[in-house]
Amino acid sequence: MLANDEIDALLSPRIPSSFYQADPSDKTQGPVRRLFPRYKEVEQAYFRRTGIFPIMHVIVLRKDILEAYPWAARSLYKAFSQAKESLFQQIQDTSVLRLSLPWLLSELEETTQLMGSDYWPYGIAANRATLEAAISYSYEQGLTPRQPTLEELFVASTFNEFKI
């Protein structure tokens, strides 16, 4: 739809296939382009200015499941946190690189220097500013009729983080 001018823009976690298709009028790029060609620099500058990096995923649990199993939300949070910790340990293991990219370690160091060692923070406390900004933007853009609080959107058991 982008390549055929049926829509003007797309916000997507995946790069559309038309991004890679050759444009006969421009041999250097396909018919679909990024809004910000130097997006990494733009995103890094925005993070430096605001401390916000867009959240990639939010886990949703059906209300009937939560009512039947009140511990489910906290258990899911803990499971995803443990999986993230495992991934971070693997990424930092330089004896066997998980991806074959020439500057992978440099990228990891640069990201950590800018965003800290937990560059994908989990939990409400660590993401409060980002979540509140998203709520505000949704309201300002008419996507929601009012601005709900974080307490309305998230299960109480996921607000507190603790280790045993």
The per-residue pLDDT for 33 is 85
Residues contacting 91, CB < 8 A, separation 6+: 98, 108
- Give residue 135's pLDDT: 95
* pLDDT value of residue 29: 63
Question: What's the pTM?
Answer: 0.77
pLDDT of residue 47: 96
CA–CA gap between residue 14 and residue 71 (Å, rounded):
33
> What is the pLDDT, as a whole number, of residue 23?
61
Closest CA to 138 of 149, 147, 130: 147
The answer to whether the Cα torsion of 38, 44, 48, 54 is positive or negative is: positive
| Cα 68-71-74 angle, rounded to 5 deg | 135
Residues of the chain with pLDDT under 70: 22-30, 161-164
